[in-house]
């Protein structure tokens, strides 16, 4: 039994389903991300936990207590929003203090807590600043401190980084993870940025059309996606069209034997899903020896690796292959290459 449990949540807006029976368990102190494209229901799920939306059916349980019908202001959920949400008429310190005042904490207690929290988010000197005197990143830090001030039972993060610059975003996301681990705060983090989700989460829940497609550690979600959707949403992936043929996938003249194709009807259209870093490459000279052939179309340098886009021979399809940059330099555009799937992890799905 988890600390925060979402049980069979369903919600539709004007007939369009946003959540279609969502079940999710968070153990205490765990950070779980909900990841998915916009409209997949992740924000709706978070808002139902916060109490801003009511589920059509289903329950939200915290520490064994059903809070489905508890109003938002009595749920003790700390929330950080996507939009800047600091109260413009209050200083950073007054913002952080707000929840404590409502809980009738004494002046000295409030002062002490505000100082602690400003220190925690690295803004010790900023207590007297108004929101308009702070940068976006600083505002979100204060918003985090404000949410933590009430010692919430669960911390809810609704894409808190998406309005920030790339650099600030990475810093703050690591900061959030550090603070969350330090406090052992059970956290539900909603994001559409897969890199963000993979980087900070204990577990990642990938959502599509109101349902969880997969819920597992970042490494498992990345390495062993449960579905074609997860594979294609998390990380960069190739989806090459081919045909199933007696326990193998056929791409032009190339045949890739695989157990994954065993259940598929011969001649049916399939997609071969494989990550760019999982494909080997050798320069191709002379005769075809049954490997998948193509020629390098473009190269993009990404720092440690270089991504080669390769056009398959006798086919308009392209495939992306990542190689260490020093190796990729040997394959300028136009080079004929043979692709090697020997060490690859791949999936085969019905197209």
Partner 1 sequence: MAVTAKPPRKVAGTVLRVVVLVVLGFYFILPLVAMGEFSTRGINNTRSLDSWTGIFEDPDLVDSIVTSVELAVLSSVLMLVLLVPTMAWIRLRLPRMRRVVEFLCLLPLTIPAIVLVVGMAPLYAWVNYFLGDSPLTLTFVYAVLVLPFAYRAIDAGLAAIDLKTLAEAARSLGASWGTVLWRIVVPNIRTALIGASLLSVALVLGEFTIASLLNFETLQVQVNLIGKRNAGLSIAVSLACLVFAFVLLFLLSYVGQRRRVTVVED
Q: Which residues bind partner 1 (CB under 8 A)?
A: 50-52, 72-79, 81, 83-89, 91, 98-99, 102-103, 128, 130, 143, 146-147, 150, 156
Q: Rounded CA gap, 341 and 322, in Å?
A: 13
Min CB(196)–partner 1 separation in Å = 21
Min CB(277)–partner 1 separation in Å = 40
Min CB(139)–partner 1 separation in Å = 12
Inter-CA distances, 158 with 78, 216, 303, Å: 11, 20, 31
Q: For partner 1, which is the closer residue by CB, 87 or 301? A: 87
- Spatial neighbors of 212 by CB under 8 A, at least 6 apart, are 22, 23, 24, 205, 206
Min CB(147)–partner 1 separation in Å = 7
Min CB(73)–partner 1 separation in Å = 5
Min CB(98)–partner 1 separation in Å = 6
E strand intervals along 45-142: 57-62, 65-66, 77-80
Q: For partner 1, which is the closer residue by CB, 129 or 177? A: 129
Q: For partner 1, which is the closer residue by CB, 33 or 139? A: 139
Q: For partner 1, which is the closer residue by CB, 154 or 260? A: 154
Contact 201, 218 (CB under 8 A): yes
Q: How far apart are the first and last CA of the chain?
A: 38
Inter-CA distances, 242 with 247, 269, 344, 349, Å: 13, 6, 17, 10
Q: For partner 1, which is the closer residue by CB, 92 or 319? A: 92
Q: Rounded CA gap, 307 and 232, in Å?
A: 17
- Distance between alpha carbon 261 and the CA centroid of its chain, in Å? 29
Q: Is 157 exposed, middle or buried (0-12, 13-18, 19+ CB in 10 A)?
A: buried
Min CB(76)–partner 1 separation in Å = 8
Inter-CA distances, 221 with 205, 206, 296, 350, Å: 9, 8, 30, 20
Q: For partner 1, which is the closer residue by CB, 35 or 77? A: 77
Query: Cα torsion for 24, 30, 31, 32, to the nearest 10°?
Result: -20
Contact 317, 293 (CB under 8 A): no
Query: Residue 20 — φ and ψ, nearest 5°?
Result: -125, 65
Q: For partner 1, which is the closer residue by CB, 50 or 231? A: 50
Min CB(197)–partner 1 separation in Å = 22
Q: For partner 1, which is the closer residue by CB, 132 or 285? A: 132
């Amino acid at each position: 039994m988890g600390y925060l449990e979402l049980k069979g949540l369903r919600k539709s807006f004007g007939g369009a389903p946003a959540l279609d029976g969502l079940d999710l368990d968070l153990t205490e102190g765990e950070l779980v991300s909900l990841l998915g494209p916009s409209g997949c229901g992740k924000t709706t799920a978070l808002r139902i936990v916060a109490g801003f939306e009511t589920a059509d059916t289903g329950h939200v349980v915290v520490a064994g207590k059903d809070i489905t019908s508890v109003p938002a202001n009595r749920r003790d959920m700390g929330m950080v929003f996507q939009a800047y949400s600091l109260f413009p008429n209050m200083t950073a310190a007054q913002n952080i203090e707000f929840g404590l005042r409502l809980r009738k904490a004494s002046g000295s207690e409030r002062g002490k807590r505000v100082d602690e929290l400003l220190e925690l988010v690295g803004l010790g000197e900023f207590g007297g600043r108004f929101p308009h005197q702070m940068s976006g990143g600083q505002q979100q830090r204060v918003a985090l401190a404000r949410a933590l001030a009430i010692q919430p039972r669960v911390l809810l993060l609704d894409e808190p980084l998406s309005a920030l610059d790339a650099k600030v975003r990475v810093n703050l996301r690591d900061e959030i993870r550090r603070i969350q681990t330090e406090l052992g705060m059970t956290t539900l983090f909603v994001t559409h940025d897969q890199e963000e989700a993979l980087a900070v989460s204990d577990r990642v829940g990938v959502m599509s059309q109101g349902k969880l497609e997969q819920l597992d550690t970042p490494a498992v979600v990345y390495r062993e996606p449960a579905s074609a959707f997860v594979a294609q949403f998390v990380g960069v992936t190739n989806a090459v069209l081919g045909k199933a043929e007696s326990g193998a996938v056929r791409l032009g003249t190339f045949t890739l034997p695989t157990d994954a194709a065993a259940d598929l009807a011969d001649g049916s259209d399939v997609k071969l899903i494989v990550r760019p870093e999982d494909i080997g490459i050798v320069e191709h000279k002379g005769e075809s020896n049954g490997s998948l052939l193509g020629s390098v179309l473009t190269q993009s340098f990404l720092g440690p690796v270089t991504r080669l886009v390769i056009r398959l021979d006798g086919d308009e399809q392209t495939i992306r292959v990542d190689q260490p940059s020093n190796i990729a330099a040997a394959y300028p555009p136009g080079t004929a290459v043979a692709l090697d799937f020997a060490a690859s992890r791949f999936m085969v799905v019905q197209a």
